[in-house]
Structure 1
């Protein structure tokens, strides 16, 4: 269930999460046995440390630009672009400028 967002209402995901000075903000939309959906905002220069996920994950860039590292290979991603993180891969995110993303993780 998606309980944190209003139902039957057009919304802007990019406006559903704010930036925090020198920080990373997480807003969990869904977390169940099948999937997780999390909104993130990064202030410029902030880094999400290398980690892995149990299932494939789809990253959807909502605003700004970032470098996504997957198993030591770097990819530039910007607003309206997406990339799939393979299950078990070691990945990280570094905001080149203020950056917002939605990540959908299959479990």
Structure 2
């Protein structure tokens, strides 16, 4: 995964737009699962294209319009959209935006909660439960997982390591990530990468929600 592990960063800030341009950054193509960041400057667009698979778009900053035969939709920061397969879909922004695109190769691996949704906020998909951590798999493919999690104050995850690279999207609240012996305070709108095998834990001293993209090997 083409991000630096072990630091707090912002996808939105690190992929700032250039006037009059659209920009793409390849984050991962492991196992044929493509993950990319896009930035669209004010008044720019990406023409509608047709793919045989669905894609998940997550907006980090600004507003994004879905164009083409996939249906009109508008997304703002923190919202997501799943493009239909076999239908030409494009993107446009009047004021500029930054978003992430994740390919979804196996439709059967998608959580039923997403099947009838158009535009949705990731943080609204999962509730809080007192003294508990809740985990919901949204995408569960053989080599790619995308989950949302909620932590109430005082909960967390003990130290562990993943078998692949993982990217955190902080959705609501704040928490402390301990990674390879260092502590990092993460807030809504920020990101963090765990490298494969990197020891990490999470402690929430207030309510906290996050999404996690895991690329397995």
Smaller-chain TM-score bracket: over 0.9
**Residue 96 of structure 1, CA deviation:** 2.2
Aligned residue for 1:3?
111
TM-score by length of 1: 0.94
Aligned residue for 1:83?
192
Aligned mates of 1:104, 1:89 — CA distance in 2: 15
**Residue 29 of structure 1, CA deviation:** 1.0
RMSD: 1.2
5 Å-filtered alignment, 1:48-67, equals: 48-67=157-176
Aligned mates of 2:178, 2:135 — CA distance in 1: 19
The alignment status of 1:34 with 2:140, answered yes or no, reads: no
Uncovered stretches (5+) of structure 2, i.e. residues with no partner: 1-106
Aligned mates of 2:121, 2:201 — CA distance in 1: 25
The alignment status of 1:25 with 2:151, answered yes or no, reads: no
Aligned residue for 1:46?
155
Runs of 4+ off more than 4 Å: none
Uncovered stretches (5+) of structure 1, i.e. residues with no partner: none
TM-score by length of 2: 0.48
- Structure with a larger share of its residues in helix: 2
